[in-house]
Amino acid sequence: MNLIECRNLALGYNGRAVLKGLNFNVEEGDFICIVGENGSGKTTLIRGLLGLIKPLKGKITYCNLKKNTIGYMPQETHVDAHFPASVFEIVLSGTLAQKHFKPFYTAVDKKNALQKLSLLNIANLKKESFADLSGGQRQKVLLARSLCATSKMIVLDEPSNNLDAHSKAELYQLIIRLNREFKIAVIMVTHDLDHDNLISDKILSLRGKDFFFGSTKEYVRMLHE
């Protein structure tokens, strides 16, 4: 069953298209990696899927998914690493959707945030300051926050940037578990296309004029031809 359908999609800024003629679907439980060089439009596509920019042309249809119920995890460098906030304060903010002018989090919000921390094995960090965490731990906190906002789909923007090999492998394992065990669709922007890191089922390549959207096996075969 489709979650998102993109048809003849053009996205860009100030009327100038960065991406044109893009067609693809995101199905329930999909794991899609978006690849492409710098400036190829990966971030623009993510912004479009999250509803942060409107299509210049074409259409994004959200099926079985409300527009603002996609969990988003930015690159680690996009948030202030020295921001004075506890892990729990940050993860709780993932439950803010549609909470207009309510001064307090409910018991359900707190339970939800705690569950996500436990799911990612970081419940012990609940009271720690975000600024005191390692890069890998910070990424898990941002992943837990994104999970608070969704039960169906997460969008990850280069989640392994600046991580050492061990932290990267640990994070990828968690993402794979979320996808396989909990059937959460994953869209992940990545530069990691080494053989070991081809963890997705499908690839959306924004390289060149002709986009590629298909299985990872097909993509690897195409690269070797």
Partner 1 sequence: MNDLIEMFSYSFMSRAAIVGAMLVICMALIGVPLVFRRNSMIGDGLSHVGFGAFAIASVLGLAPLQFAIPVVVLTSFFILRLTENSKIHGDAAIALLSVSALAIGVLVVSLTGTNTDINNYLFGSILSIGDTDIIMAVILSAMVFLLYLFSYHQIFSITFDETFTKSIGVNTKLYHFVFAMLCSIAVVLGMRLMGALLVSGLIVFPVLSARQITKTYQTTIIVSILVSIMAFFIGLVASYSLNTPTGATIIIVNMVFCLILKTISLF
Kindly list the residues in this chain that would bind partner 1 in the complex (CB under 8 A).
50-52, 67-70, 72, 74, 78-80, 83-86, 89-90, 92-94, 96-103, 105, 128-129, 131-132, 145-146, 149
Name the residue nearer to partner 1 (CB basis): 96 or 198. Answer: 96
Nearest 5°: CA angle at 212, between 17 and 179?
105
CB of 5 to partner 1, least distance (A): 19
Q: Which among 68, 51, 110 is positioned nearest to 86, based on CA atoms?
A: 110
Name the residue nearer to partner 1 (CB basis): 100 or 195. Answer: 100
| Burial class of 25 by CB neighbour count within 10 A (0 to 12, 13 to 18, 19+) | middle
Name the residue nearer to partner 1 (CB basis): 100 or 224. Answer: 100
Name the residue nearer to partner 1 (CB basis): 37 or 132. Answer: 132
Q: What is the CA radius of gyration of the chain?
A: 18
CB of 115 to partner 1, least distance (A): 17
CB of 93 to partner 1, least distance (A): 4
CB of 82 to partner 1, least distance (A): 9
From residue 146, give the alpha-carbon distance in Å to each of 37, 48, 151: 25, 17, 10
CB of 220 to partner 1, least distance (A): 31
Do the Cβ atoms of 29 and 179 come closer than 8 Å? yes
Name the residue nearer to partner 1 (CB basis): 26 or 203. Answer: 26
